[in-house]
Structure 1
Amino acid sequence: MSDVSVMEQPIIPATGDAVLELSGVVRRFQQAGAVLEVLRGAACSVRRGEIVALVGPSGAGKSTLLHIAGLLEHADGGVIRIDGRDAATLDDAGRTALRRQTIGFVYQFHHLLPEFSAEENIILPQMIAGVSKTVARERAKELLAQVGLAARGSHRPARLSGGEQQRVAIARALANRPSLLIADEPTGNLDHHTSDDVFALLTRLVRGSGTGKDGFGALVATHNLDLAARMDRVVELRDGVLVES
């Protein structure tokens, strides 16, 4: 990959099935009286049925980019479109609603609620979104079957292995049928074999969702270059801009 200046930074083209479009995204922080520009015009897109790797050295700003793409943090400039909607035009309540309706999150640690079963952990976000408990339970059972844990729904997280916990976390992220899945080192806490299994599952779910209206895309931050190479595309965050490999 060659160095790319801000002026040369390519806008990765979006298509009609893009679920995430970032263009000219800027993010600055005040640090010790100076301005630190973490993102300097970052641009990329993610389409339905596509899994995109986000790589870069520690401290490059990958988590900041994911937070902006996930509407958890405001950018200082640029365009952020989620499923065709311009997030910059929304107030905080609108951003929260859009995030809840269209985005699912998976983190390095599963963050499951320990006092609830696997099934209940998938039911809760649906009920928060206004889904009835009966419908939410059926959706939870469906997702647990998809991630290979149909027989483990009544188990609390402490009774699940690390790989099983992360599978439940993936199912929970998909509970409200998002258009975009954002994952930050989703296999980072797992051993090599379990990591491969969880990544294979995630890839199968994304690609298997298709490019139609029910499909979803995924942006996955990882330090594992072997896993990154198995995704559909790789974008590297370098000096505040994104360069496609």
Structure 2
Amino acid sequence: MSETPAFELRRVVRRFEQAGRPLEVLRGVDLIVQPGELVALVGPSGAGKSTLLQIAGLLERPTAGDVLIGGHSCGTMGDDARTGMRRHSIGFVYQFHHLLPEFSALENVVLPQLIAGLNRKEAEERAHELLAMVGLAEREDHRPARLSGGEQQRVAIVRAMANVPKLLLADEPTGNLDPHTAEDVFGHLTRICRAVRLGALIATHNLELAARMDRVLEMRDGLVVEYSR
């Protein structure tokens, strides 16, 4: 029996009003990401990548179509159910780490687990494990200001994975890093996604990193198509 996709978009449309006229940013997007699969999303600024990620992350509702996370349709969910789905089934990583500066690396990874209802002992055990997976076992007591940019982004990645989501959404996760650090962070992200069978949709302008993912898709004319140079 085939595995349930981590994530699926079905005929997703997103339409805005601009100067009294409709502007269709997404024109019936179909997309599937399987567990453990890393999918790159490329395209010029303004092509609709951020809109697609907002809809995929249940932060914005489509004009038409459906979003499925782990096989569960989110199209008719109320706001509370969508919030619960984001908390337990979706992880987010952005270009800037957005770590809480007054908390240590460990506490930044523990906090979302406590919010999700896990007890502190289990949350701390998982945080220790995740930080060790990205080589930060010796740095977990440090606050963000004492970490390098790459270390901060590694903390942000494991924080996104702390609640064992089905889907990771990343928007330019290495865009604020130098090439060497970007390579290091991407390597950690790839290994941890493979290890926990986490589906990932990663928007990036870095075509070299994109080419190393399982698939490269492009936003073009409001649709998602296979990327070709």
- Gaps of at least 5 residues in structure 2 are none
Shifted more, 111-120 versus 17-26: the winner is 17-26
Query: Once the 2 structures are TM-superposed, how far is the Cα of residue 208 of structure 1 from its aligned partner?
Result: 2.4
**1:1-245 → structure 2 map (5 Å cutoff):** 16-209=3-196, 215-245=197-227
Q: How far apart, in 2, do the equivalents of 1:208 and 1:116 lie? A: 27
Query: Once the 2 structures are TM-superposed, how far is the Cα of residue 207 of structure 1 from its aligned partner?
Result: 1.9
Note the aligned Cα RMSD (angstroms): 0.9
Q: Aligned letter for 1:63?
A: S
Shifted more, 111-120 versus 132-141: the winner is 132-141
Q: Which 4+ residue blocks in structure 1 deviate beyond 3 angstroms?
A: none
Q: Aligned letter for 1:137?
A: E
Q: How far apart, in 1, do the equivalents of 2:223 and 2:137 lie? A: 42
Query: Once the 2 structures are TM-superposed, how far is the Cα of residue 16 of structure 1 from its aligned partner?
Result: 2.6
* CA displacement 1:172-221 (0-9 Å, x = unmatched): 00100001000000000000000011011111111222xxxxx2110000
Q: How far apart, in 2, do the equivalents of 1:78 and 1:55 lie? A: 22
Q: How far apart, in 1, do the equivalents of 2:198 and 2:205 lie? A: 23
Query: Once the 2 structures are TM-superposed, how far is the Cα of residue 134 of structure 1 from its aligned partner?
Result: 1.1
Q: Aligned letter for 1:55?
A: V
Identical amino acids, percent of aligned pairs: 66
Q: How far apart, in 2, do the equivalents of 1:43 and 1:76 lie? A: 14
Count of aligned residue pairs for this structure pair: 226
The SS at the match of 1:150 is coil
The SS at the match of 1:108 is coil
Query: Once the 2 structures are TM-superposed, how far is the Cα of residue 99 of structure 1 from its aligned partner?
Result: 1.2
TM-score by length of 2: 0.97
- Gaps of at least 5 residues in structure 1 are 1-14, 210-214
